[in-house]
Amino acid sequence: MSNLYVISGSSGVGKGTVIKEFLSQNPQFKLSVSCTTRSKREGEKEGVNYFFLSEKEFKNCVNNNEFLEWAEFSGNFYGTKRDFVQQSLKNGENLILEIDTKGALNVKRIMPEAILIFIAPPSLEELESRLRGRHTETEEAIQKRLASIKAEIENSKHYDYVIVNDTVENAVNCLKNIINSKS
């Protein structure tokens, strides 16, 4: 049986690292590549991290109903391609979406069978220092992201599972246990 896992977590919580580690140990799982209007960070690749679109291109996809869900996050747009998700599930593949909490709750409304997993920081102070430690965002962007954390934590109350990312190893093990229990 194929499952759809939707994983969210506040910026800087390390969810990318946890998912990457999980996927390296479980290559049979597929990660959906989202579309975004935000600019490419150093080291990011088109079609690997995201499909980088202009606002006009993104709006065209919205108007053509190409997204399963989309959301504005920190002043940029992000969306999940509907075709990709439907095709992967049809092919019997287990799929992971790494999306924000608004998008995740929208997915759950459309596809109640989706399994929602929230990766939480050990503490808010820890999260802020991780976010600053990345040196990838301006102060203004960091402030915006910190402001959205409260809403994300509120939304996480509707998730099926919450994993506290104290260490990557523990978080990956928790993720494996949750996923194993579903397959």
**Contact positions vs ligand 5GP (CB under 6 A):** 8, 11, 34, 38, 69, 71, 73, 78-80, 98-100, 102-103
| Residue whose CB is less far from ligand 5GP, 69 or 156 | 69
- In the complex, the smallest distance separating the C-beta of residue 71 from ligand 5GP, rounded to whole angstroms, is 4
Per-residue tokens: 116: 């929602």
Q: Which residue has 């799929």 as its token pair?
A: 95
Residue nearest to ligand 5GP (CB): 103
Q: In what order do the strands lie in the sheet with 76-81?
A: 50-52, 34-36, 76-81, 67-73
| Residue whose CB is less far from ligand 5GP, 14 or 103 | 103
- In the complex, the smallest distance separating the C-beta of residue 8 from ligand 5GP, rounded to whole angstroms, is 6
| Residue whose CB is less far from ligand 5GP, 38 or 132 | 38
Strand 115-120, strand 4-9: pairing: parallel
Instruction: Quote the radius of gyration of the chain (alpha carbons, Å).
Output: 16
| Residue whose CB is less far from ligand 5GP, 78 or 94 | 78
For the chain, first and last CA: distance in Å? 7
Q: Which residue has 């993720």 as its token pair?
A: 175
- In the complex, the smallest distance separating the C-beta of residue 99 from ligand 5GP, rounded to whole angstroms, is 4
